[in-house]
């Protein structure tokens, strides 16, 4: 079957994939909503002088970055419910796995940005009468934000593509919908159309980050 030679069939395919794309967007936005702030907390914990806090967080980051996300999705959906005696919805399992995984990556991005700020910035804040917390919020974090924009954009773009991994526990996102259509019709065209969805979404994200970078050009620190 050739969708590209049949506009009616192509529009029907796009509609089918659009339904799956809603779940893709849900996974994407929920992951960012929770992993970005969690990543900052993890980064601060990783930088703590207290070994009882920094050591376990360091191990968590190592595990999350050192094992496949697909394996982590399986672990959350199958192992944790067995250990705790609870049932997790497939979508909830996916969100939890993605948040834990991406929080670890964002934590290292935050940590790199924070460590790149000269110690003199903290001393300057102290001279101005700021507490260490006020110094971080008013002086350090705005500089960190600019420094981490590009590496963060790379992770966000990767996240768009990683959402396809949700299919391993039968979450009905766009890649699963495309794969089902491809199997049903013995055609690769549904996969090509799904690829275009990902491409357009990443093009939009790239433009958003480029806009933010331009807006922050006023600050050259």
CB atoms within 10 A of CB 54: 15
Which single residue is written with the structure tokens 């969805």?
A: 197
pLDDT score for 195:
95
> Residues, the chain, total?
221
**Structure tokens of 15?**
């509609």
Tens-digit pLDDT profile for residues 39-70: 999 999 999 999 999 999 999 999 999 999 99
pLDDT score for 146:
85
Q: Which of 78-87, 91-100, 167-176, 185-194 has the highest mean pLDDT?
A: 91-100
Runs of H (alpha helix) within the chain? 7-46, 51-66, 69-74, 80-84, 90-115, 120-127, 132-135, 141-162, 174-185, 189-215
Tens-digit pLDDT profile for residues 122-135: 777 877 788 878 88
pTM of the entire predicted model:
0.90
pLDDT score for 101:
98
Closest CA to 178 of 5, 64, 17, 2: 17
Would you place residue 164 in the very low, low, confident or very high pLDDT band (cuts 50, 70, 90)? very high
- Please answer whether residues 25 and 171 qualify as being in contact, where contact means their C-beta atoms are separated by less than 8 angstroms: no
Would you place residue 220 in the very low, low, confident or very high pLDDT band (cuts 50, 70, 90)? low
- Please answer whether residues 76 and 122 qualify as being in contact, where contact means their C-beta atoms are separated by less than 8 angstroms: no
Residues 84-96, mean pLDDT to the nearest whole number = 90
């Amino acid at each position: 079957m050739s969708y590209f030679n049949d506009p009616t069939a192509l529009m029907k395919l796009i509609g089918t994939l659009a339904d799956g794309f809603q779940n893709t967007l849900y996974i994407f936005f929920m992951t960012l909503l929770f992993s970005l702030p969690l990543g900052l907390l993890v980064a601060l914990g990783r930088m703590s002088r207290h070994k009882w806090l920094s050591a376990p967080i360091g191990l968590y980051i190592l595990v999350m970055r050192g094992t496949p996300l697909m394996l982590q999705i399986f672990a959350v959906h199958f192992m944790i419910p067995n250990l705790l005696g609870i049932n997790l919805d497939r979508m909830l399992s996916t969100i939890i796995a993605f948040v834990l995984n991406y929080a670890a990556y964002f934590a290292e991005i935050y940590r790199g940005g924070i460590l790149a700020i000269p110690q003199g910035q903290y001393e300057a804040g102290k001279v101005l009468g700021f507490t260490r917390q006020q110094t971080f919020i008013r002086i350090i974090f705005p500089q960190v934000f600019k420094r981490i924009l590009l590496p963060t954009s790379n992770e966000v773009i990767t996240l768009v593509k990683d959402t396809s991994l949700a299919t391993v526990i039968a979450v009905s996102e766009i890649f699963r919908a495309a794969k089902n259509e491809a199997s049903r019709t013995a055609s690769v065209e549904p996969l090509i159309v799904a690829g275009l969805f990902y491409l357009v979404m990443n093009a939009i994200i790239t433009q958003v980050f480029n806009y933010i970078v331009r807006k922050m050009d006023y600050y050259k620190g």
